[in-house]
């Protein structure tokens, strides 16, 4: 199995469509955001307009989730876990879904934060253009109704495909493992992920775990065809990327960059011979990346220009051999050097 192979099966209905889905979520949001439960679910309801415009209502349970964005110091509106009743979702866009991660707007009164969510959504869409072994996402236009205060707000958000569904449609399995060495990772897939993260300006990830007493990995899940090597890294959680440019995002002091807009390449020197093929994949998809940006209606003109410029800057750095030599080949790391940054 390589990172260029076709998907084993089609995604479930929710992630087979990129149109924006308008939904209403009614829930005790005051309690949810005050207590931020990460185990206990609260009762809620999700509704949307059906084919004949009749409102379809689904029972729902919700709780907060995540680490950094669940902290009220960072986000007044935490990410949410949606838990559907399987018996109700048949013949709906949510058919086959059970539990879903919902990426929310983070800060309700900061006008720019919905744009950052849209930019993070774009990052997932870009990676899916490169490979079917990627998380599907679906953008939602969400009306939140607080059943305790009566307050209503309207914000964008997006749901992320379940990891087991990603594995199943690619004929793979998720792997829960505590320690991985770079030699156990599929080399073309390594290059793909490192170059993608470089494109969006993200350093807040790790494909391995250099310390056996810590969990593997950071903002990366692991898949395999057999349960063992070669492992295929599956990246997620891109809010610290320069392309997103979230106000709270700061570069980790382990990296030699002053702000998250600066790119830092974490690719391995031992995989440099694979770079031409990897770069070619990005060159093939660059036009599609721009099309995705241009067709995302809720994206503001300012965000559209910013994302396009950031992508075009990446293109300048990889489009010819001289640029690749300067920005990638000469910047590659040996495993020992990379461990220092993990």
- 176-207 pLDDT tens trace: 888 888 899 999 999 999 999 999 999 999 99
Rounded CA-CA distance 61/41 in Å is 6
Give the model's pLDDT for residue 116: 96
Average pLDDT over residues 9-24: 95
Give the model's pLDDT for residue 215: 65
Strand pairing class (137-146; 21-27): parallel
pLDDT digits (tens, 9 = 90+) for 114-138: 999 999 999 999 999 999 999 999 9
Asked if residue 296 has pLDDT above 60, the reply is yes
Average pLDDT over residues 86-102: 95
Asked if residue 68 has pLDDT above 80, the reply is yes
- What contacts 291, CB < 8 A, 6 or more positions away? none
Average pLDDT over residues 50-68: 92
* Domain spans in the chain, listed from the N-terminal domain onward: 13-166, 172-340
Mean pLDDT, the chain, rounded, equals 93
Give the model's pLDDT for residue 4: 45
Confidence of residue 3 (pLDDT cuts 50, 70, 90): very low
Give the model's pLDDT for residue 339: 62
Asked if residue 1 has pLDDT above 60, the reply is no
pLDDT digits (tens, 9 = 90+) for 219-273: 999 999 999 999 999 999 999 999 999 999 999 888 899 999 999 999 999 999 9
pLDDT digits (tens, 9 = 90+) for 302-313: 999 999 999 999
Asked if residue 342 has pLDDT above 80, the reply is no
Asked if residue 214 has pLDDT above 80, the reply is no
Side-chain half-sphere of 210: how many Cα atoms within 13 Å? Answer: 9
Average pLDDT over residues 30-34: 96
Give the model's pLDDT for residue 208: 86
CATH number belonging to domain 172-340: 1.10.1070
pLDDT > 90: what percent of the chain? Answer: 82
The answer to which of 50-54, 157-161, 282-286 has the lowest mean pLDDT is 50-54
């Amino acid at each position: 199995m390589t990172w260029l192979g076709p998907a084993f099966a089609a995604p479930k209905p929710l992630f087979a469509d990129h149109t924006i889905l308008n939904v209403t979520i009614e829930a005790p949001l005051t309690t949810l955001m005050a207590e931020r439960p990460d185990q206990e679910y609260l009762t809620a309801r999700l509704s949307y307009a059906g084919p004949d415009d009749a409102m379809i209502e689904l029972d729902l349970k919700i709780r907060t989730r995540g680490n950094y964005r669940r902290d009220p110091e960072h986000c007044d509106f935490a990410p949410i876990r949606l838990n559907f009743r399987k018996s109700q979702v048949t013949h709906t866009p949510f058919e086959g879904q059970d539990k879903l991660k919902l990426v929310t707007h983070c800060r309700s009164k900061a006008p720019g934060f919905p744009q950052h969510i849209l930019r993070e959504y774009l990052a997932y869409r870009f990676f899916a253009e490169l490979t079917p072994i990627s998380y599907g996402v679906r953008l939602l236009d969400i009306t939140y109704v607080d059943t305790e205060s009566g307050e209503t707000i309207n914000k964008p958000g997006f749901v992320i495909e379940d990891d087991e569904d990603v594995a199943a449609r690619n004929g793979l399995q998720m792997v829960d493992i505590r320690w991985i060495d770079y030699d156990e990772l599929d080399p073309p897939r390594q290059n793909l992920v490192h170059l993608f993260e470089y494109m969006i300006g993200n350093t807040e990830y790790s494909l391995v775990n250099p310390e056996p007493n810590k969990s593997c990995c950071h903002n990366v899940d692991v898949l395999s065809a057999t349960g063992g090597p070669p492992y295929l890294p599956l990246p997620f959680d891109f809010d610290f990327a320069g392309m997103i440019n979230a106000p709270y995002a700061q570069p980790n002091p382990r990296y030699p960059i002053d702000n998250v807009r600066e790119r830092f390449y974490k690719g391995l020197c031992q995989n440099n011979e694979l770079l031409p093929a990897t770069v070619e994949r990005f060159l093939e998809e660059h036009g599609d990346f721009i099309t995705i940006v241009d067709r995302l209606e809720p994206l503001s003109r300012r965000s559209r220009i910013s994302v396009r410029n950031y992508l075009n800057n990446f293109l300048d750095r990889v489009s010819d051999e001289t640029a690749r030599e300067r920005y990638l080949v000469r910047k590659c790391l040996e495993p020992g050097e990379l461990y220092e940054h993990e």
